[in-house]
Amino acid sequence: MNPDELQAATIELRTLTGILVKVARQDINQRLANAGVEISSLQYGILFILDGHTRTLSELSPLMVRDPATLLHAVDSLEKKGLLTRGQDPHDRRRTPLMITALGKSVLEQVPQASKNDLLSKALSQLGNEKVVQLLVLLNEVNANLSKDKFPTNQEN
Protein backbone atom coordinates (compact mmCIF):
# COMPACT_ATOMS: atom_id res chain seq x y z
CA MET A 1 0.00 0.00 0.00
CA ASN A 2 1.47 3.36 -0.95
CA PRO A 3 1.55 6.26 1.56
CA ASP A 4 -1.53 7.97 0.10
CA GLU A 5 -3.56 4.76 0.24
CA LEU A 6 -2.38 4.13 3.80
CA GLN A 7 -3.39 7.64 4.83
CA ALA A 8 -6.83 7.18 3.25
CA ALA A 9 -7.23 3.80 5.00
CA THR A 10 -6.21 5.38 8.33
CA ILE A 11 -8.81 8.13 7.93
CA GLU A 12 -11.49 5.63 6.97
CA LEU A 13 -10.67 3.38 9.94
CA ARG A 14 -10.79 6.35 12.34
CA THR A 15 -14.15 7.39 10.92
CA LEU A 16 -15.62 3.89 11.06
CA THR A 17 -14.36 3.14 14.57
CA GLY A 18 -15.68 6.51 15.74
CA ILE A 19 -19.11 5.61 14.39
CA LEU A 20 -18.99 2.15 16.00
CA VAL A 21 -17.99 3.59 19.37
CA LYS A 22 -20.73 6.22 19.21
CA VAL A 23 -23.41 3.68 18.27
CA ALA A 24 -22.23 1.24 20.95
CA ARG A 25 -22.24 4.00 23.59
CA GLN A 26 -25.74 5.13 22.58
CA ASP A 27 -26.94 1.52 22.64
CA ILE A 28 -25.62 0.84 26.14
CA ASN A 29 -26.98 4.19 27.38
CA GLN A 30 -30.41 3.30 25.97
CA ARG A 31 -30.33 -0.16 27.57
CA LEU A 32 -29.29 1.39 30.91
CA ALA A 33 -32.14 3.92 30.67
CA ASN A 34 -34.65 1.19 29.73
CA ALA A 35 -33.59 -0.76 32.82
CA GLY A 36 -33.96 2.37 34.99
CA VAL A 37 -30.24 2.38 35.83
CA GLU A 38 -28.98 5.94 36.21
CA ILE A 39 -25.32 5.60 35.28
CA SER A 40 -23.35 6.51 32.17
CA SER A 41 -21.77 4.14 29.71
CA LEU A 42 -18.37 5.15 31.16
CA GLN A 43 -19.54 4.20 34.65
CA TYR A 44 -20.97 0.96 33.29
CA GLY A 45 -17.59 0.19 31.71
CA ILE A 46 -15.86 0.73 35.05
CA LEU A 47 -18.23 -1.73 36.74
CA PHE A 48 -17.71 -4.23 33.94
CA ILE A 49 -13.92 -4.10 34.32
CA LEU A 50 -14.13 -4.35 38.12
CA ASP A 51 -16.45 -7.34 38.04
CA GLY A 52 -14.33 -10.16 39.47
CA HIS A 53 -11.25 -7.93 39.80
CA THR A 54 -9.90 -5.40 42.25
CA ARG A 55 -8.08 -2.55 40.56
CA THR A 56 -6.77 0.87 41.47
CA LEU A 57 -7.63 3.99 39.52
CA SER A 58 -4.18 3.93 37.90
CA GLU A 59 -4.69 0.27 36.87
CA LEU A 60 -8.15 1.06 35.53
CA SER A 61 -6.90 4.01 33.47
CA PRO A 62 -5.03 2.12 30.69
CA LEU A 63 -7.76 -0.53 30.50
CA MET A 64 -10.30 2.19 29.75
CA VAL A 65 -7.89 4.29 27.69
CA ARG A 66 -8.71 7.27 29.90
CA ASP A 67 -6.68 9.58 32.06
CA PRO A 68 -7.11 8.81 35.80
CA ALA A 69 -8.40 12.37 36.35
CA THR A 70 -11.17 11.67 33.81
CA LEU A 71 -12.18 8.51 35.66
CA LEU A 72 -12.12 10.06 39.14
CA HIS A 73 -15.52 11.78 38.86
CA ALA A 74 -17.13 8.59 37.49
CA VAL A 75 -15.60 6.50 40.30
CA ASP A 76 -16.73 9.01 42.93
CA SER A 77 -20.27 8.91 41.54
CA LEU A 78 -20.33 5.10 41.50
CA GLU A 79 -19.12 5.06 45.10
CA LYS A 80 -21.86 7.51 46.16
CA LYS A 81 -24.45 5.26 44.51
CA GLY A 82 -23.10 2.23 46.39
CA LEU A 83 -22.02 0.45 43.20
CA LEU A 84 -18.34 0.27 44.13
CA THR A 85 -16.20 0.78 47.20
CA ARG A 86 -12.68 1.95 47.84
CA GLY A 87 -10.60 -0.40 49.92
CA GLN A 88 -7.24 -0.27 51.65
CA ASP A 89 -4.18 -2.27 50.70
CA PRO A 90 -2.63 -3.69 53.91
CA HIS A 91 0.80 -3.76 52.24
CA ASP A 92 0.74 -0.26 50.71
CA ARG A 93 -1.42 2.40 52.33
CA ARG A 94 -1.00 4.67 49.27
CA ARG A 95 -2.78 2.08 47.10
CA THR A 96 -6.58 2.31 47.06
CA PRO A 97 -8.19 -0.70 45.38
CA LEU A 98 -11.64 -0.31 43.85
CA MET A 99 -14.14 -3.14 44.25
CA ILE A 100 -17.58 -3.68 42.77
CA THR A 101 -20.38 -4.13 45.33
CA ALA A 102 -23.30 -6.55 45.24
CA LEU A 103 -25.46 -3.66 44.02
CA GLY A 104 -22.96 -2.99 41.24
CA LYS A 105 -23.06 -6.66 40.25
CA SER A 106 -26.85 -6.51 40.09
CA VAL A 107 -26.59 -3.61 37.61
CA LEU A 108 -24.39 -5.78 35.38
CA GLU A 109 -26.92 -8.60 35.64
CA GLN A 110 -29.78 -6.25 34.73
CA VAL A 111 -27.93 -4.82 31.74
CA PRO A 112 -25.51 -7.36 30.26
CA GLN A 113 -22.53 -6.08 28.24
CA ALA A 114 -24.05 -7.51 25.07
CA SER A 115 -27.23 -9.24 24.03
CA LYS A 116 -28.47 -10.78 20.82
CA ASN A 117 -30.81 -7.82 20.40
CA ASP A 118 -28.31 -4.99 20.69
CA LEU A 119 -27.42 -3.02 17.57
CA LEU A 120 -23.86 -4.26 17.18
CA SER A 121 -24.86 -7.91 17.65
CA LYS A 122 -27.51 -7.54 14.96
CA ALA A 123 -25.03 -5.91 12.57
CA LEU A 124 -22.40 -8.60 13.19
CA SER A 125 -24.90 -11.43 12.74
CA GLN A 126 -25.54 -10.16 9.20
CA LEU A 127 -21.84 -10.65 8.34
CA GLY A 128 -21.77 -14.36 9.08
CA ASN A 129 -19.39 -16.28 11.35
CA GLU A 130 -16.37 -16.33 9.04
CA LYS A 131 -16.35 -12.57 8.48
CA VAL A 132 -16.91 -11.84 12.18
CA VAL A 133 -13.92 -14.02 13.11
CA GLN A 134 -11.83 -12.37 10.39
CA LEU A 135 -12.83 -8.89 11.58
CA LEU A 136 -11.92 -9.74 15.19
CA VAL A 137 -8.55 -11.21 14.18
CA LEU A 138 -7.67 -8.12 12.15
CA LEU A 139 -8.80 -5.66 14.82
CA ASN A 140 -6.84 -7.58 17.45
CA GLU A 141 -3.75 -7.38 15.22
CA VAL A 142 -4.19 -3.62 14.83
CA ASN A 143 -4.65 -3.30 18.59
CA ALA A 144 -1.51 -5.35 19.26
CA ASN A 145 0.46 -3.05 16.95
CA LEU A 146 -0.50 0.02 18.97
CA SER A 147 2.09 0.70 21.62
CA LYS A 148 1.10 2.24 24.94
CA ASP A 149 3.40 5.23 24.49
CA LYS A 150 1.86 5.93 21.08
CA PHE A 151 -1.74 5.46 22.22
CA PRO A 152 -2.98 8.45 24.27
CA THR A 153 -4.83 7.78 27.51
CA ASN A 154 -6.62 11.12 27.82
CA GLN A 155 -9.49 10.54 25.43
CA GLU A 156 -12.70 12.57 25.49
CA ASN A 157 -16.03 10.90 26.33
Quickly name the fold that domain 39-112 has.
Answer: Arc Repressor Mutant, subunit A (1.10.10)
Model confidence over 9-31: pLDDT tens digits? 999 999 999 999 999 899 999 99
Task: For residue 122, give every residue at least 6 positions away whose Cβ sits within 8 Å of its Cβ, in sequence order, or none.
Answer: 116
Choose among 38, 157, 41, 57: nearest CA to 103. Answer: 38
DSSP string, the chain: --HHHHHHHHHHHHHHHHHHHHHHHHHHHHHHHHTT----HHHHHHHHHHTT--B-HHHHHHHHTS-HHHHHHHHHHHHHTTSEEE--BTTBTT---EEE-HHHHHHHHHS-S--TTSHHHHHHHTT-HHHHHHHHHHHHHHHHHS-GGGS-S----
Choose among 148, 149, 157, 150: nearest CA to 63. Answer: 148
The mean pLDDT value of the chain amounts to 89
Is the model's pLDDT at 126 over the cut of 60?
yes
pLDDT given for residue 156 in this prediction:
46
Reported as a pLDDT band with limits 50, 70 and 90, residue 92 is confident
Mean pLDDT of 124-146: 92
Task: Give the distance from CA 54 to its chain's centroid.
Answer: 16
107 to 3, 54, 73, 83, 118: CA distances (angstroms): 47, 17, 19, 8, 17
